[in-house]
C-alpha cells in the first residue's frame, strides 16, 4: 500500500525497495542541508528553511506539509511542499515538487503525483492546484499530462524578474 501521512522527525511515510518519503520539520531540513547532503536536490540553506516556512496569505504552519524523497542509500533526491485548503477549502496547492535532475525521466514525478493525489483524497481534499512559470515548458507539459487544466495566468515578480505564472487545477473526483 502507498500512503503519505504527517509524522515526526525521521518517520517513514512511504517506503519501497528503493524509495523512502519522510515528513520534514525544521530540524531535519537544516540537518539535511548542512551535514547530510550539503545541497542535494538543489536545496541550499536558507532556501531549505524558506521551503518549510513560506506560506500563502491567510495560511498557518499547521496547513503546510513538506516531505523529503530519499533513495535507498539515504540520498535526498527531491522535496514536496503542499498547503491544504488554498485558495478554497478542499483545494490543496502543490507549492513545490522538486526532483534532482539526475532522477528525472524515470517516472518518479508521476509516481509522486499519484501518492499526493491519494493522500490528499484521504485527507478529504477535492482538488489540487499548481502554479507553473510560463517559461518552464517542460513543467507545463508534465502537469497537463497529469490531467491539470489551465485556470488563469497571473504576473508575479521573482527577485528582479517579472514572470507569468500559469495557474492549473485538477479535480480529484472519485
Over residues 137-164, the mean pLDDT reads 92
Nearest-angstrom CA–CA distance, 48 and 39: 9
4-51 per-position pLDDT tens digit: 334 333 344 444 445 555 655 544 443 444 444 444 444 454 555 666
> Among candidates 153, 49, 67, 147, which has minimal Cα distance to 115?
67
Q: Looking at per-residue confidence, does 103 or 81 come out higher? A: 81
SS3 at position 119 = helix
Query: How big is the chain, counted in residues?
Result: 174
pTM here is 0.74
pLDDT of residue 139: 92
Radius of gyration (Cα) for the chain, nearest Å? 16
62-80 per-position pLDDT tens digit: 888 888 777 766 677 888 8
3-state percent helix, strand, coil for the chain, nearest multiple of 5? 30, 35, 35
Over residues 50-55, the mean pLDDT reads 73
The position carrying cell 490543496 is 92
pLDDT of residue 12: 44
Mean pLDDT for all residues in the chain: 75
Nearest-angstrom CA–CA distance, 80 and 69: 8
Domains of the chain: 1-105 (3.40.630), 126-174 (3.30.70)
Q: How many C-beta atoms lie closer than 10 Å to residue 106's C-beta?
A: 10
Amino acid at each position: 500500500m502507498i500512503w503519505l501521512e504527517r509524522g515526526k522527525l525521521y518517520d517513514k511515510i512511504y517506503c519501497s525497495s528503493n524509495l523512502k518519503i519522510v515528513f520534514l520539520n525544521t530540524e531535519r531540513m537544516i540537518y539535511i542541508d548542512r551535514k547530510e547532503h550539503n545541497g542535494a536536490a538543489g536545496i541550499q540553506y536558507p532556501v531549505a528553511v524558506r521551503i518549510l516556512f513560506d506560506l500563502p496569505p491567510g495560511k498557518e504552519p499547521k496547513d503546510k506539509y513538506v516531505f523529503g524523497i530519499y533513495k535507498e542509500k539515504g540520498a535526498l533526491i527531491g522535496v514536496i511542499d503542499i498547503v491544504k485548503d488554498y485558495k478554497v477549502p478542499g483545494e490543496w496547492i502543490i507549492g513545490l515538487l522538486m526532483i534532482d535532475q539526475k532522477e528525472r525521466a524515470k517516472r518518479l514525478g508521476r509516481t509522486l503525483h499519484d501518492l499526493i493525489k491519494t493522500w490528499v483524497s484521504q485527507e478529504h481534499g477535492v482538488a489540487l492546484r499548481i502554479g507553473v512559470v510560463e517559461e518552464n515548458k517542460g513543467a507545463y507539459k508534465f502537469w497537463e499530462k497529469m490531467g491539470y487544466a489551465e485556470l488563469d495566468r497571473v504576473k508575479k515578480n521573482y527577485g528582479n524578474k517579472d514572470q507569468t505564472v500559469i495557474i492549473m487545477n485538477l479535480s480529484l473526483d472519485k
